């Protein structure tokens, strides 16, 4: 049974209206640089180890890239990405393990093929987020989506952050 958390009705409309892709460079301007890879980032590993939601693509009211997706990208940028991802498979939350599994699909297909079998029949649920809707879904269902390549389009998608100055004051 899928449980969807209550959300505001206009949330998805806000995502569509309030999120903007990174601005393109104009004539004579340098294009925006991609986020720097965090080589050997312990913070990225901790973020994935403790992940509480499996969320890719624009999420939340502003349609931004989740911190866990950014952490996955940082781990993928490492020279030892495959080793780091295999480590995450053994010591992360269920959500973190799914990020690691997806990362292996992208970075080391042979290691992915070895690891995915364990997840196919896995019992339990995982918290996911698509757009502004969070739900608890069967782990095996999300693994099937990973296997079918439903998340592959996010591999090289631009990171979407809140526009400068739109953060709230603390």
Does pLDDT of 148 surpass 80? yes
Classify residue 71 by burial, with Cβ atoms within 10 Å: 0-12, 13-18, 19+: buried
Backbone angles phi, psi at 162, to 5 degrees: -65, 145
Q: What is the pLDDT of residues 92-134, one digit of tens each?
A: 999 999 999 999 999 999 999 999 999 988 999 999 998 899 9
Instruction: Kindly state whether residue 169 falls inside one of the protein's structural domains.
Output: no
| Domain assignment of residue 13, yes or no | no
pTM above 0.85, yes or no: no
- What is the pLDDT, as a whole number, of residue 62? 86
Beta strand pairing call for 133-138 and 125-131 = antiparallel
158 band by pLDDT with thresholds 50, 70 and 90: confident
Alpha-carbon distance of 66 to 44, in angstroms, equals 12
Q: Range of 137's domain?
A: 39-154
Q: Which residues, in sequence order, are CB contacts of 143 under 8 Å at separation 6+?
A: 98, 101, 116, 119, 120, 122
Whether residue 42 has pLDDT greater than 70: yes
Residue 25 included in any domain: no
pLDDT band at residue 26 using 50, 70 and 90 as cut-offs: very low
3-state secondary structure 77-123: CCCCHHHHHHHHHHHCCHHHHHHHHHHHHHHCHHHHHHHHHHHHCCC
Domain assignment of residue 164, yes or no: no
- pLDDT at position 164 is 67
Distance CA 121, CA 144 (A): 10
Instruction: Tell how strand 133-138 and strand 54-59 pair up.
Output: unpaired
Examine residue 147 and state whether it is found in any structural domain, yes or no: yes
pLDDT greater than 90 at residue 57: no
Higher pLDDT among residues 102 and 62, named by residue: 102
Q: Decide if 113 is inside a domain.
A: yes
Q: pLDDT-based confidence at 165, cuts 50/70/90?
A: low
Looking at residue 43, its pLDDT comes to: 95
pLDDT in tens, 6-25: 443 334 433 333 333 343 44
pLDDT of residue 101: 98
* pLDDT at residue 73 is higher than 60: yes
How far is CA 10 from each of CA 1, 7, 60, 111, 162, rounded to the nearest angstrom? 25, 8, 12, 41, 19
Our count of domains for the chain comes to 1
Q: Is residue 133 part of a domain?
A: yes
Decide if 1 is inside a domain.
no
């Amino acid at each position: 049974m899928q449980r969807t958390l209550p959300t505001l009705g206009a949330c998805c409309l806000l995502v569509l209206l309030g999120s903007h892709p990174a601005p393109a460079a104009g004539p004579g301007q340098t294009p925006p640089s991609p986020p720097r890879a965090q080589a050997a980032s312990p913070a990225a590993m901790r973020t994935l180890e403790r992940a509480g939601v499996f969320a890719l693509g624009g999420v939340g009211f502003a349609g931004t890239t989740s911190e866990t997706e950014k952490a996955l990208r940082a781990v993928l940028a490492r020279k030892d990405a495959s080793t780091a991802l295999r480590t995450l498979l053994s010591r992360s939350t269920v959500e973190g393990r799914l990020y690691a599994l997806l990362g292996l699909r992208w970075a080391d297909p042979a290691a992915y093929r070895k690891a995915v079998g364990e997840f196919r029949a896995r019992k339990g649920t995982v918290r996911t987020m698509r757009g502004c809707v969070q739900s608890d879904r069967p782990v095996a269902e999300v693994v099937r989506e990973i296997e079918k390549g439903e998340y592959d389009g996010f591999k090289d998608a631009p990171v979407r952050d809140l526009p400068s100055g739109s953060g709230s004051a603390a």
